[in-house]
């Protein structure tokens, strides 16, 4: 009976995939585990469906070969989120901009002139492809999450980071 009630409530709501899916969960009886399970399933399905319709890349992870292609094409902004002393001591990927992880949130909210003055390069636009990198892919993932929360849609991170870059470049 509860399943029939849920199906009746969702009829007409699910095909639209709008925000009406979430409020329905609030009016469903708490004792109906089937209904709440269905709500969670439908909500996650709609998120997956909408993600597939978005222009954001399907994978946020970039490997060495993809990074080389992105750099060669010149269509991506590479932001290294390590501390400046790390870049001086270990090196950096050519044409990358250094914005330490602790400054990513504020840096991506600056006006373009302030960004250029502080970081020495053009500020990426929210529509630009941005690839974050660090030493081993941990800080770059945090930077990706920060940029996504600020409305940047086409963001990725170099999983292997500087460690992988040096290893791969040595092979070439």
Active site residues: 134
Phi, psi of 62 (to 5 degrees): -120, 135
Residue 89 CB-density burial (10 A; 0-12 exposed, 13-18 middle, 19+ buried): exposed
CB atoms near residue 96 (< 10 Å): 21
Query: Whole-angstrom Cα distance, residue 7 to residue 137?
Result: 43
Q: Which residue is listed with tokens 């974050």?
A: 132
């Amino acid at each position: 009976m509860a399943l029939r009630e849920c199906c009746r409530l969702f009829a007409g709501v699910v095909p639209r995939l709008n925000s009406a899916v979430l409020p329905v969960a609030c009016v469903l009886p708490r004792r109906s585990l089937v209904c709440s399970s269905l709500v969670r399933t439908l909500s996650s399905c709609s998120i997956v469906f909408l993600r597939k319709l978005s222009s954001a890349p399907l994978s946020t992870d970039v490997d060495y070969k993809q990074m080389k292609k992105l750099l060669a094409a010149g269509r991506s902004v590479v932001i290294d989120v390590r501390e400046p002393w790390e870049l001086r001591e270990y090196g950096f990927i050519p044409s990358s901009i250094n914005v330490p992880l602790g400054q990513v949130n504020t840096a991506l909210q600056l006006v373009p002139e302030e960004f250029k003055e502080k970081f020495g390069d053009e500020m990426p636009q929210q529509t630009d492809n941005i690839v974050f990198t660090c030493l081993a892919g941990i800080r770059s993932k945090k930077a990706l999450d920060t940029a996504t929360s600020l409305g940047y849609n086409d963001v990725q991170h170099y999983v292997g980071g500087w460690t992988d870059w040096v290893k791969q470049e040595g092979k070439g």
